[in-house]
Structure 1
Amino acid sequence: MSKYLIALLVFIALLAGALLFVGDNAALIITSSAQDGLLAFPPIEMTFQAVILFGTALMVGTIALWSILLWIWRLPRRLKSGVGMRKRNRAIDAMEEALIAGAEGDIDRARKASARVRDLAGSTDLGHIISATAAEACGDSDAAVEHYSAMLDSPKTRPTAQRGLAQAKLATGDLPGAVEAAREAFDQNVQARWAFDTLFKALVADYRWTEARDVLEKGRAAKHITGDVFSRRRAVLLSAEADYWMDHGQHDKSLELAQSALKDAPDFAPAAAIAAYELTATGGQKKAASLLERAWKSAPHPAIAIAYLDLYPGESVDTQGSRLKRFIASDPEHREAELLMIDHHLRAKRPVDALSLLSPLLSEDEPTARLCLLAAQAERDLDNEADARLWTERAATAPHELDWSDLDPEGPGFAYEPQDWRRLVFSYGDTGALVHPRAERQESVRRPTPEPNTEPLRLVAPEIDADPDLAQRFDDLLDGEDEPSKD
């Protein structure tokens, strides 16, 4: 506003200067050479000051008239624009109310506000988007699916509708519907990351291992997933499929898939266990032993050791000891390697050698149930029944080693159900961590060096009466302050 005022003042100053410059002496005389008619008029005489003032008034009047006419011309449009702006603001307020109501879980208010959006905005697509978003926020999946389905007819909103439908159906457990919606979107645009993620999750959730593996490889080609995550996920999918065919008697196919899984992830113990089982079943003990040795070197796991020991049943203790030393030669100081040798010494009835290896492990802040049972077995072999009983009682409430829980009392490792493989795809695939469903289901745990007629240890044991001196006796045993009892 100030710039216009300044311009006006400058103009007035220039006008005043012009009037002063020309003075009131000089005059302008206008005459006509016509003798008669309209163009015949007497001479007109005007001072230059009058001419300047008249010209200025004419110019100002022209500008004013033009502005009035232009304002009148634009008036209907402005009136319409003002009405539209008010309507637009009301539509924005309705959108805000719909989303807030959805976040608060007020389904009725969200529906009413969404209906007002559709009426005020004049856009069916926008109305469906707001309605679907509000319905999702309220947890009304049926309404969300309804609105997303209505958006499929518009090319502009079809990708959004496909994504919304796929995710809504996945969330409600409609796996075939989620697969259909996500697959269509992924086929149309392989670069759509959401379509890859949703399709892969839906296929895994539906135990469709082979299809999930195909989508995983397409995702790698599109650079949605790379590196170790791709390899580990693929290893789990191959192993899950191998487990399926093993249960259905297709052992050649199972072995092929398990070996392929180990190429992707040499440290994936479940794949090694399946491959070793299939090789052993067909007399391929040497190949199985080599495979298990490689798997142990990559990632020592008790199930690998148990599978290795089962390859040559009936061997003498000395032969088995030599074989175990070669087996753990890659890292003999690994905790699992030491536990394997402790277990071997106990089977060989060498409890003193077992305790010499076990003592450093028992000095841990809180020995595990597995260690306690090994200590109990060693004390029992030394005829120290009182100390053996103490260690057995302590095992009932000691923490458990999750890797050891992967073996059931009958001996097989990794008795995974389909839902366990499904979790492994993301647990091991994304972080390299195994799941331990037997521990989670509180199933029986295999005892180290089991004796005849012994009951399997339960992860959740019944409460026992506490001996007031029990804690001190445990501490004395761990610290080595008392000699073992000879009772």
Structure 2
Amino acid sequence: MMIRLIGYFIAFVVFVTSVVWLNNNPGFVEFDWFGYHIKSSMGLFIAAIVILVVVCVLVWRLVRGIMGAPDAFGLFFSSRRRKKGYEALSKGIIAVGSGDVKTAQKFARLAAEKLDDEPLTLLLKAQTAQLEGDKDQTHKAFEKMIEQDATKMIGLRGLFMEAQRNEDGGAAKMIALDAVAHDGQSKWALNGLFDMQTAEGDWGGALNSLLMIGRLQGTNVAETKRKRAVLLTAEAMNIEASNAERALELALEARTHAPELVPATVLAAKLLLAKGSLRKAHKLLEKCWRLAPHPELGALFAAQKDAEKPNIWLKRVQTFALKAGVGHADMAARGAVEAAVMVARVAIEQSDWSAARKALESIVVDDPSARVCTLMAKIEQGELGNRGLVAEWLARAQRAPGDPVWLADGHIAVTWAPISAVTGELDAYEWKVPDYNLAQVEADMAANILLEHHESELQALESQEKAQQQAHEQAIVAVKQEAEIEIAKIAEEKAEKPAKDEPSNEGNSGSGSGGVELVVAKKSADEPVKTVEVVAEKIEKIDFQPADASPQKSGDKKSNGLKKVSKSPYSSQPITEGDDKVALPHRPDDPGLPADDKDPGADGYYSN
């Protein structure tokens, strides 16, 4: 705005200066044109020229506007269409973010109609298909995005994430390689490829990917060095048996990137000791012992040399133990425990019980770990042979806090590994004390297994009872169907018999014919009743046994389905219902028979 005002001001100054100059320098312009003699002042002539130029410009613009009117109208409607398309695209993306499937579908279709060549419409379509759970449409949308350079990386990332969701590692790796080839600075592609290479144990490929990741802007240099050290250590462990020299080079290089990495130092020290480079191996162990005291470092250093005297051996170990965690306050407590345990073990091996007890006395006062309690039990056994104290220390070891272990994602490993056995994450194992009691975890797991077994048994019993109940019901239905069929047959026979007997009945006369009809009707009426009784007997004979009951043994006498026999809890005599006599139970607190005029029979029954 300021620049425009300055421009206007300069133009005004030029105009005023020109007017003043023309006024101070008057003159005339005279010329003949088409037989006319024209004479005018210089100022009027210049004004006429300016007006003529302005008119020509206006006429030119008018003609150009008329000639370009169709294109202008097309551009107007096209811009209006694109405006509506971008509005639909914006609303569709908002709907996807809020999880509104129907609204996202509506605006995705509208955006695709209004914006023909807009790459973002494919992205909205893919996101809407993901929200619907339509994997085929999602895959197709991402593949269309790959065809355009502007959206190729977005499409590749979408396909990469879909492959990971489907647990298709091969396809995901190929997509990541394609993305890295297209854009070597793509952080997601490099990180995804790196994670898959480490999970597969492709340490060489992972080192190359890590080198490319290290060149990206904003990368954590310390984290990259640590990961490189872990990868070099993993590669060294992989070729230790086949190429010891190369393994030693890789382990030493790993130490330059992460001197505190215990597995790299342990591997390098082992290989140096195998070569006979004792002094160099001890120097490596001492440097790492100061940074991160660990039992494996102490065990390698505490190994007795050839022809080394016991007292010199113990003194060498004691000197090395004093350097644990020196200069690092966060490692002081851990270093004190590891140093005491290392000295105690060497002293126990030499049967120097006093030196072993002295080494542990500073850490026994506080809450000792299971490892320390076990060492104290060995000392009591070796020095005094006191079984009571040995049992006491072993019992304390069962209840004592745990010792540090290699722990990653809840998984405890005997030896260090470069990746987690659970998630495949690089450098996941840490040397620390678990946050839970292993004994209690095992007990809880055993209890859960027993509970699941008990629940499965109950479910099996319930399903067995349901199956038997269904079989019983099906048997009853089958019997009833048979009874209905038999009743239907009797009804048909009843309908057919009068038709057959009509000729003979016509010859009879008087009361004789009436008597015959009465007999036939009575017989036919009794037959359905007998059939129903037969059905009832069949239903009563169906033996239904519950799943938890033992099979019943039938005796010689069978029930006719009209009588129920049971026993009283106070009498050995049966109670028979449906007969002419009923047994009266004799209770222990009953003083005698109730006052009644009727006299009991010989068997203790009252007559009805």
Go from structure 1 to structure 2 and tell me whether the alpha carbon gap of 1:89 and 1:209 turns closer, same or farther (over 3 Å shift): same
2:245 to 231, 252, 258: 252
Matched, 1:348 2:343: no
Go from structure 1 to structure 2 and tell me whether the alpha carbon gap of 1:345 and 1:131 turns closer, same or farther (over 3 Å shift): farther
Go from structure 1 to structure 2 and tell me whether the alpha carbon gap of 1:423 and 1:261 turns closer, same or farther (over 3 Å shift): farther
State whether residues 355 and 378 of structure 1, in contact with CA within 8 Å, keep that contact through their aligned partners in structure 2.
yes
Higher strand share: 2
Instruction: Please list, as runs of the form range in 1=range in 2, the aligned pairs for 1:293-312 lying within 5 A after superposition.
Output: 293-310=286-303, 312=305
Partner of 1:53: none
2:341 to 311, 315, 339: 339
Question: Which amino acid counterpart does residue 363 of structure 1 have in structure 2?
Answer: V
Partner of 2:232: 238
Go from structure 1 to structure 2 and tell me whether the alpha carbon gap of 1:298 and 1:204 turns closer, same or farther (over 3 Å shift): same
Cα distance, 1:293 vs. partner? 2.2
Instruction: Please list, as runs of the form range in 1=range in 2, the aligned pairs for 1:77-226 lying within 5 A after superposition.
Output: 92-101=90-99, 114=108, 117-119=111-113, 121-122=115-116, 125-136=119-130, 144-226=138-220
Cα distance, 1:235 vs. partner? 0.3
Partner of 2:402: 400
What is the RMSD of the two structures over their aligned residues, measured on CA atoms? 4.2
Partner of 1:416: 417
- The structure whose Rg is larger is 2
State whether residues 99 and 130 of structure 1, in contact with CA within 8 Å, keep that contact through their aligned partners in structure 2.
no
Go from structure 1 to structure 2 and tell me whether the alpha carbon gap of 1:96 and 1:117 turns closer, same or farther (over 3 Å shift): farther
Q: Which structure 1 segments of 5+ residues have no match?
A: 1-71, 407-411, 428-433, 444-457, 464-487
Go from structure 1 to structure 2 and tell me whether the alpha carbon gap of 1:355 and 1:310 turns closer, same or farther (over 3 Å shift): closer
Q: Taking CA–CA contacts closer than 8 Å with sequence separation of 6 or more, which of the two structures ends up with the larger relative contact order?
A: 1
Partner of 1:363: 365
| Number of equivalences | 362
State whether residues 229 and 254 of structure 2, in contact with CA within 8 Å, keep that contact through their aligned partners in structure 1.
yes
Partner of 2:507: none
Partner of 1:186: helix, strand, or coil? helix
**What whole-Å deviation, never above 9, does each CA across 1:293-336 have from its counterpart, x for those lacking one?**
22222321111112223474785432321221342343477322
Cα distance, 1:184 vs. partner? 3.5
Go from structure 1 to structure 2 and tell me whether the alpha carbon gap of 1:234 and 1:84 turns closer, same or farther (over 3 Å shift): closer
Matched, 1:385 2:379: no
Of 262-271 and 140-149, more deviation after overlay is shown by 140-149
TM-score norm. by structure 2 comes to 0.50
State whether residues 133 and 144 of structure 1, in contact with CA within 8 Å, keep that contact through their aligned partners in structure 2.
yes
Of 220-229 and 151-160, more deviation after overlay is shown by 220-229
Q: Which structure 2 segments of 5+ residues have no match?
A: 1-68, 327-331, 445-608
State whether residues 118 and 126 of structure 1, in contact with CA within 8 Å, keep that contact through their aligned partners in structure 2.
no
**What whole-Å deviation, never above 9, does each CA across 1:50-103 have from its counterpart, x for those lacking one?**
xxxxxxxxxxxxxxxxxxxxxx9999988887777666655555444444337x
Measure the CA separation in 2 of the matches of 1:140 and 1:374: 63
Question: Which amino acid counterpart does residue 269 of structure 1 have in structure 2?
Answer: V
Question: Which amino acid counterpart does residue 241 of structure 1 have in structure 2?
Answer: E
Measure the CA separation in 2 of the matches of 1:459 and 1:284: 46
Matched, 1:292 2:290: no
Question: Which amino acid counterpart does residue 280 of structure 2 have in structure 1?
Answer: K
State whether residues 93 and 104 of structure 2, in contact with CA within 8 Å, keep that contact through their aligned partners in structure 1.
no
Measure the CA separation in 1 of the matches of 2:342 and 2:117: 71
Cα distance, 1:216 vs. partner? 1.5
Measure the CA separation in 1 of the matches of 2:407 and 2:186: 40
Partner of 2:417: helix, strand, or coil? coil
TM-score norm. by structure 1 comes to 0.61
Measure the CA separation in 2 of the matches of 1:321 and 1:136: 68
Partner of 2:149: helix, strand, or coil? coil
Measure the CA separation in 1 of the matches of 2:184 and 2:84: 42
